[in-house]
Structure 1
Amino acid sequence: MKIMKLITFATLALSCHAALAAGETLRVGADLTYPPFQFRDSSGKPAGFEIDITNAVCQAMQVKCEYVVSSFDAEIPSLLAKKVDFISPLGATEKRRKSIAFSDFIYHIPTKLVARKGSNLLPDATVLQGKRIAVQQGSIQEMYANKYWATKGVDIVMYPDQDVIYQDLASGRLDGALSPAVAVTYGFLNKPEGKDFALVGPEVRDDVLFSIGSAYGMRKEDEKTRKLLNEGLAKIIADGSWEKVKQHYFGDIDMKVHQPEQAHAAQ
């Protein structure tokens, strides 16, 4: 009897949670200048890998997603000011964990240096001295470059979005850029203007600054949203929706976060 009562109570609790969530609108902080992860389609609507994943999560949890567009470096301040309920996936770094909470990991992509072919540049401060290297404002790439490269004579140039970085690379105003490798590949290298550029050197890693994966960001006290997103994410991974969206944008590239206890790593 005790076991049956516990089961009944658990079922009612889950039903109440679902009823509470169904039909709600969640405001999502987004930066639509980051193809193929986030961008505007031909009709001006939010599109991209992260947008499609987020829409699938919200659909799985029967809530509506409403995108609030801002620059990347304004997303966390907007979240803390309660202008949005959660923000699009970003690296769950130690520094960011001090101010916000994270969902379970969604994907991982390496950080690499992109430079003109034949430039002989490498992601090494001694090689990059005197060179103009771009980073996106508020990104983990900016934190890395400022910590390890700017202090050794590398000219770090901050940009509000990736599109402008690509334009200045193509025009010769930059020597290189430190960026997420997949975003550069599909947002620049695969286009005519990026034909003379390539990802150079090994993956740039730092156990303190970088996270092993990207996750949704939410306010620390908002346990309800965190649980809701985790449940939705688990559902779309289990039913194959996550893999379907990933295949659409990136084919067979492995973007899963590989670790023993994924569910607890980003918390």
Structure 2
Amino acid sequence: MHFASRPLHSIRRWICLLAFLCTWAGAAGAQAQYRIATEGTYAPWSFKDAQGVLQGWDVDIAKALCEKMSARCEIVAQDWDGIIPGLMARKYDMIVASMAITPQRRQRVDFSEKYKDTISRFVARKNAPADVSPAALKGKSIGVQRGSIQAAYLADAYRDADLKYYDTSQAAELDLVAGRVDYILGNMVTYFVGFMKTPESRNFAFVGPDLKGGLLGEGNGIAVRKGDTALLSRVNAALAAIRADGTYDRITARYFPFRLM
């Protein structure tokens, strides 16, 4: 190509075309990068090991999704109370933290397809009555994690109970063992593989029926900012891929002796 023999305006067109092609090629070849929030204090879903590294089912799922999306991802811990505000403030791009899909949360974020079912249960001393209806627990103290779907459920349905809110589910468990609350309410699977496996749980048991639906959610989803349809489509496609190729089941088998969906 001999620019010297061409008019100046023609040379400028070629320069603009080459600049556009270089920019397009760079964008097309760029690897997507995402920041992902999880809670980090909610074993076995997400927790920090002795070295302070995030581990758990949600962490492994997030890594598998990033691999399917061919994306570079950073996974960070975020307190539960601030996890949705942090997403809205663009501190990260998505939340992979076993977040229950509820009508209230749908007003603030968009959710992926369900990637896990949620069942809530009460835990109390083994001699506790089987009736855990709002009328039966009037005046009883119930511990629950602040900001959780179980907290919203209790605030709505158990207004005559003495509700006590905790920053983590483990703090509520400690007060149950110490006798400072009569009941705790939380995720059944979390209790099954966590608290119920500890020596401290020997005098405690699940009480009452499985609880799900309504304020307790439609299952768990991955949250992205409202209107981020491009990322939501990528996440849903990655979820479908890890379920189809067995990755989802292999990750689940590392933590649980049963299926989550």
**What's the RMSD between the two structures over aligned residues?**
1.7
Deviations 1:84-117 (A, max 9, x none): 1011231111111111100111110311111111
Q: Which amino acid aligns with 1:237?
A: R
Task: Check whether the contact 1:79–1:85 (CA below 8 A) recurs between aligned residues.
Answer: yes
Partner of 1:178: 185
Partner of 1:197: 204
Partner of 1:96: 105
Partner of 2:58: 50
- After superposition, residues 93-242 of structure 1 pair within 5 angstroms as 93-120=102-129, 122-150=131-159, 153-207=160-214, 209-242=215-248
Q: Which runs of 5+ in 1 are unaligned?
A: 1-15, 257-267
Task: Check whether the contact 2:34–2:93 (CA below 8 A) recurs between aligned residues.
Answer: yes
- Counterpart of 1:68 in 2: which secondary structure? strand
Deviations 1:121-159 (A, max 9, x none): 543112211111011111111111000102xx2011111
Q: Which amino acid aligns with 2:140?
A: K
Task: Check whether the contact 1:49–1:246 (CA below 8 A) recurs between aligned residues.
Answer: yes
User: CA offset at residue 44 of structure 1?
Assistant: 1.4
Q: Which amino acid aligns with 1:212?
A: E
User: CA offset at residue 205 of structure 1?
Assistant: 3.2
- Counterpart of 2:114 in 1: which secondary structure? strand
Partner of 1:73: 81
Matched, 1:28 2:36: yes
Task: Check whether the contact 1:57–1:233 (CA below 8 A) recurs between aligned residues.
Answer: yes
Task: Check whether the contact 1:21–1:62 (CA below 8 A) recurs between aligned residues.
Answer: no
Task: Check whether the contact 2:252–2:259 (CA below 8 A) recurs between aligned residues.
Answer: no
Partner of 1:254: 259
Partner of 1:86: 94
- Counterpart of 1:225 in 2: which secondary structure? helix
- Counterpart of 1:244 in 2: which secondary structure? helix
Deviations 1:52-105 (A, max 9, x none): 111111112111221222211211111111111011231111111111100111
User: CA offset at residue 34 of structure 1?
Assistant: 0.6
% identical aligned pairs: 33
Q: Which amino acid aligns with 1:134?
A: G
Task: Check whether the contact 1:22–1:63 (CA below 8 A) recurs between aligned residues.
Answer: no
Task: Check whether the contact 1:115–1:121 (CA below 8 A) recurs between aligned residues.
Answer: no
Q: Which amino acid aligns with 1:254?
A: R
Task: Check whether the contact 2:59–2:75 (CA below 8 A) recurs between aligned residues.
Answer: no
1:99 and 1:146 mapped to 2: Cα distance? 20
TM-score (norm 2): 0.85
Q: Which runs of 5+ in 2 are unaligned?
A: 1-23
1:67 and 1:121 mapped to 2: Cα distance? 41
Partner of 2:9: none
The alignment of Structure 1 onto Structure 2 pairs a total of residues equal to: 235
Report the CA distance shift for 1:61/1:116 in structure 2 as closer, same or farther (over 3 A). same
Q: Which amino acid aligns with 2:204?
A: F
